[in-house]
Amino acid sequence: MACGVEPGLGRASALAIAPELCLVDRAPSLEHAALIDIASWAGRFTPAVSLDPPNTVLLEVEACLRLFGGLAPLGRQITRQIEELGFHARLAFAQTALAARWLARFGTGDDVGKPLAERLDRLPLRALAEGTPVGSDNLDLLTGTGHATLGEVRRLPRHGLARRHAQAVTDAIDRAYGHVPDPRSWFSPPERYLSRLPLPTPSGQADTLLFATRRLLAGLAGWLDARQAGVERFTLVLEFERNSQVPETSVEIVLGVLSRDMVRCQLLAREHLNRLPLPAAVDALRLAADLPCPLAPSAGELFEGDDEHRGDAGLLVATLRARLGDQAVRCLTPHPDHRPEKAWRWIEPPVPGPVHTRSTPIPLPPSPRPLWLLPEPRAIPAPQPWSLLAGPERIESGWWDGPEATVGRDYFVARTQDGCLAWVFRERGAPHGWYLHGYFA
């Protein structure tokens, strides 16, 4: 613009004025995808959303004005939140869909309280072609007869217009002014959330990726709000630069519980992205989520109470796992086996929710077991007889797992030289070696 390039200029003339100009082809499919993104997100404001391609999303907000505190607060919320999504929007409120579209495109935005006819009358003539079948020949006709605004066109005799093949003009005006109904088909948000965000420049910085992820998550939040649903996990796909020959990387982010809390999503996404090695610069990000489950919004406490002090147990597990890995954060459970080293198992940390009690408790060994078990029995010299305090307990089991896993041992409780209680055993097999296997501590 500063060089003098203006809308309507030809490609060659534009390049002649500004040779360094970077020309980008329009991609109608991307525009449509963006429109669907916005429409899915807009479901958080009203269930009645309608697409009006190529560049408009219509929201029927009459029913929810009270919830958001009136037109002006609602408008401010939409403008602010759509910027988080990465779009700039022009908003207009009107009683009919077509009028809202025209006012958003050509209106000045300072006349919300006035009657609809008065606001529309001031619009320029070319608004007529926006979202209607009015053709350029109709506009030429009206311009030729010296009309410049909708108000003037509205006052023209309808029969005359119809006779001059300008029926579309009267139809459009009737719809905009609310003289005839203008039904729209409602947009239903997709079953599976899928959004792609190309980065302005390929980047290998986790911060940039996080910023882009935040935008994608804002869209996901709207989609979930519209469905009154939450997800347990979502997938973030990193597309690398095309010439780097690196296949795209997919990160599954598990939230730990059903949630649509975007703060939690951002927190976990940050942990995952910080940990992820980036073999090449990232070109675009994709976010996919499916299987939304109904999730009622949590009832807020009337008085800010206990909630703050009781943390979120699922979030802790999800955060730790995001950085340390799934294998590093687990719970223990006993396992019914006589062999001490096989009498326990790792299990997944239980998810918070209804407590499911095990139907049959696992039988525990009748004799005392040490609180610490050594991962591998450690060979020790034969202890003095007086240091063996209790025992023996014979454990002989495991033949079905092959000779390596078979144990034949006599276990004793022994006092070590510094006075601790240890769990030692003597092999029943040929060398009769002594081993230390745990501490009662």
Partner 1 sequence: MAAPASVASPLDHLVWRGDQLATPVLPGRPTGHAALDAALPGGGWPPAALTELLLPRNGVGELGLLLPQLAAVPSGRWAACIAPPGLPYAPALAAAGVPLDRLLIVQAESSAHARWAARQALDSRSCEVVLLWLAEADMGALRRLQLAAEESGTPLILLRPESAAHQPSPAVLRLALTPCRGGVGIRILKRRGPQLAAALALQLPWPGEGSRPDGDTAPSPATAALQPPSSPGKHALVRPLPARSTPSGLHTRAQ
Q: How far is the CB of 339 from partner 1 (least distance, A)?
A: 9
Considering beta carbons, is residue 137 or 326 the nearer one to partner 1? 326
377-416: contacts with partner 1 (CB under 8 A):
382, 385-399, 410, 412-413, 415-416
Q: How far is the CB of 321 from partner 1 (least distance, A)?
A: 10
CA-nearest of 218, 224, 116, 223 to 174 is 116
273-312: contacts with partner 1 (CB under 8 A):
308-312
Interface residue with partner 1 among 63, 180, 371, 405 (CB under 8 A) is: 371
Interface residue with partner 1 among 86, 313, 433, 435 (CB under 8 A) is: 313
Considering beta carbons, is residue 234 or 412 the nearer one to partner 1? 412
Interface residue with partner 1 among 47, 86, 349, 433 (CB under 8 A) is: 349
**# residues contacting partner 1 (CB under 8 A):** 77
49-68: contacts with partner 1 (CB under 8 A):
none
Place of tokens 């033949």: 399
Q: How many Å is the Cα radius of gyration of the chain?
A: 35
Measured distance CA(38)–CA(169) in Å, rounded: 30
Q: How far is the CB of 252 from partner 1 (least distance, A)?
A: 20
* Both tokens assigned to 212: 């882009």
Q: How far is the CB of 199 from partner 1 (least distance, A)?
A: 29
319-338: contacts with partner 1 (CB under 8 A):
319-320, 323-324, 327-335, 338
Asked if 360 is part of the footprint of partner 1 (rule: CB under 8 A), the reply reads no
Amino acid at 384: Q
Measured distance CA(96)–CA(117) in Å, rounded: 11
177-196: contacts with partner 1 (CB under 8 A):
none
Considering beta carbons, is residue 53 or 368 the nearer one to partner 1? 368
Q: How far is the CB of 233 from partner 1 (least distance, A)?
A: 19
Asked if 174 is part of the footprint of partner 1 (rule: CB under 8 A), the reply reads no
Looking at 11-19, 79-87, 287-295, 350-358, which segment touches partner 1 (CB under 8 A)?
Answer: 350-358
* Both tokens assigned to 339: 């062999």
Measured distance CA(112)–CA(76) in Å, rounded: 14
- Exposed e or buried b per residue across 285-294, where buried means at least 16 C-beta atoms within 10 angstroms of its C-beta: bbbbbeebee
Q: Please, are residues 349 and 317 in contact by the beta-carbon 8 Å criterion?
A: yes
Q: Please, are residues 101 and 131 in contact by the beta-carbon 8 Å criterion?
A: yes
Three-state SS at 169: helix
Q: Which helix (H) or strand (E) holds 170?
A: helix 167-177
Considering beta carbons, is residue 324 or 379 the nearer one to partner 1? 324
Considering beta carbons, is residue 66 or 309 the nearer one to partner 1? 309
Asked if 430 is part of the footprint of partner 1 (rule: CB under 8 A), the reply reads no
Q: Is 346 exposed, middle or buried (0-12, 13-18, 19+ CB in 10 A)?
A: exposed
Asked if 316 is part of the footprint of partner 1 (rule: CB under 8 A), the reply reads yes
Q: How distant, in Å, are the alpha carbons of 2, 10, 178 from that of 18?
A: 10, 12, 46
Amino acid at 311: G
Q: How far apart are the first and last CA of the chain?
A: 77
Q: How far is the CB of 380 from partner 1 (least distance, A)?
A: 14
217-246: contacts with partner 1 (CB under 8 A):
none
